[in-house]
Amino acid sequence: MATINGVNGVNGNGHQAHHHHIGEERRKSCWYEEEIEENLRWCFALNSILHTGASQYQDITLLDTKPFGKTLIIDGKLQSAEIDEFIYHESLVHPALLHHPNPKTIFIMGGGEGSTAREILRHETVEKVIMCDIDEEVVDFCKSYLDVNKEAFGDSRLHLVINDARAELVSSKDSFDVIIGDLADPIEGGPCYQLYTKSFYESTVKPRLNVGGIFVTQAGPAGVFSHTQVFSCIYNTLKHVFQYVVPFSAHIPSYADTWGWVMASDAPFTAEVEEIDMRIKQRVKGENSFLDGKTFVSASTLCKAVRQTLAKETQVYTEKTAKFIYGHGAAHRTLNA
């Protein structure tokens, strides 16, 4: 090693003067890099690699990134970043629970990170939450490392089940006010595509909803271009099963894309801006950062390009017609190989 040496006092002062700059230089040399699409990369400067591990199903990494804080990576794909996961989880949870008149029992398909449960448990109407994730090690990992969900994991209303969500719903005798799909995107041959099909929605989800019950699912990228990957098809599939279907979307900075969710029910969604804001005040502990009545108006009013695709979409997910997606929330490259 050629160490720096021979510095006299005067230069020594010089060193200290430049010290902050030195640090900046050094810290930018380690990067996390993700291929969002085949020809598109998204790279975060790293502070550290906090933990790495592997479960029976997935590889799991927790990074400390400069632009987005602690970041959970599953099978090489960004799942959730500390500074903006609230956008995803507030959007997934609150519109569905707020449109329901009195949501008491909730079933989460997936959700092992714990953030979906955390947002649900902020609703004072909620009496029981079943979180059903197949991967115990991911759940344990998140329980240990994600401080922000510690309280939720300890809430007595939360019932954690390690099982395949479909098997659990099939065998369950309970029914629910809200069922939430917090799963990887539907990829042909991927681990979750069966949980996005018309038959699954019809035969497994809908029968487990109480009267007036609401189903909501994350629905993949929903940007001006990316919404054609799975968002429009999930929307169209749900339209074949439920009477009322509301697609909505929001830009999530760490995903470098706009993300989509679809909410569905056989009861109409009647809550207006003021009603939503009032219900937040009455039912939700703490304050939302992202979602309120107006935010939901914006999120559920899609731009012309996306609305046109959704209107024309004819594909329905069946066991035989899963579509491919290249992107977030999925271990598809590997699992699909």
Member of 98, 299, 322, 325 binding its own copies (CB under 8 A) = 299
Member of 102, 159, 240, 253 binding its own copies (CB under 8 A) = 253
Q: Is the dihedral of CA 253, 85, 33, 29 positive or negative?
A: positive
* Token pair listed for 132: 């059903």
Residue number with CB closer to its own copies (99 or 328): 328
Q: Is 87 in the site for its own copies (CB under 8 A)?
A: yes
Q: Is 165 in the site for its own copies (CB under 8 A)?
A: yes
For 312, residues 6+ apart whose C-beta sits below 8 A from its C-beta are none
Member of 164, 188, 202, 266 binding its own copies (CB under 8 A) = 164
Find residue 249's DSSP bridge partners: 260
Member of 62, 63, 245, 246 binding its own copies (CB under 8 A) = 63
**Per CB under 8 A, which region of 106-114, 151-159, 207-215, 311-319 contacts its own copies?**
106-114
Member of 295, 309, 313, 323 binding its own copies (CB under 8 A) = 295
Tell how strand 77-81 and strand 69-74 pair up.
Answer: antiparallel
Q: Is the CB of residue 233 less than 8 Å from the CB of residue 316? A: yes
Least distance to its own copies from the beta carbon of 88, Å? 8
According to CB under 8 A, which residues from 1 to 60 bind its own copies? 1-8, 11-12, 14-16, 18-19, 21-34, 37-49, 52, 54, 56-59
Residue number with CB closer to its own copies (67 or 212): 67
> To which residue do tokens 């939360």 refer?
158
CA distances from 151 to 124, 154, 164, 283 (A): 15, 5, 25, 18
Least distance to its own copies from the beta carbon of 76, Å? 4
CB atoms within 10 A of CB 259: 26
Q: Is 95 in the site for its own copies (CB under 8 A)?
A: no
Alpha-carbon span 250 to 178, nearest angstrom? 21
Instruction: Clarify whether 182 is annotated catalytic.
Output: yes
Member of 98, 100, 115, 121 binding its own copies (CB under 8 A) = 115
Alpha-carbon span 332 to 191, nearest angstrom? 8
According to CB under 8 A, which residues from 202 to 241 bind its own copies? 218, 223-226
Q: Is 82 in the site for its own copies (CB under 8 A)?
A: no
Q: Is 84 in the site for its own copies (CB under 8 A)?
A: yes
Is 174 buried (19+), middle (13-18) or exposed (0-12) by CB count in 10 A?
A: exposed
Q: Is the dihedral of CA 117, 106, 138, 247 positive or negative?
A: negative
Residue number with CB closer to its own copies (188 or 266): 188
Q: Is 85 in the site for its own copies (CB under 8 A)?
A: yes
Q: Is 144 in the site for its own copies (CB under 8 A)?
A: no
What DSSP line would sit under 77-108, residue for residue?
EEEEETTTHHHHHHHHHHHHHHHSSS--EEEE
3-state secondary structure labels for all residues of 121-160: HCECCCCEEEEEECCHHHHHHHHHHCHHHHHHHCCCCEEE
Member of 83, 148, 161, 267 binding its own copies (CB under 8 A) = 83
**Per CB under 8 A, which region of 119-127, 238-246, 248-256, 262-270 contacts its own copies?**
248-256
Residue number with CB closer to its own copies (113 or 177): 113
Least distance to its own copies from the beta carbon of 56, Å? 7
Q: Is 304 in the site for its own copies (CB under 8 A)?
A: yes
Residues forming the active site = 182
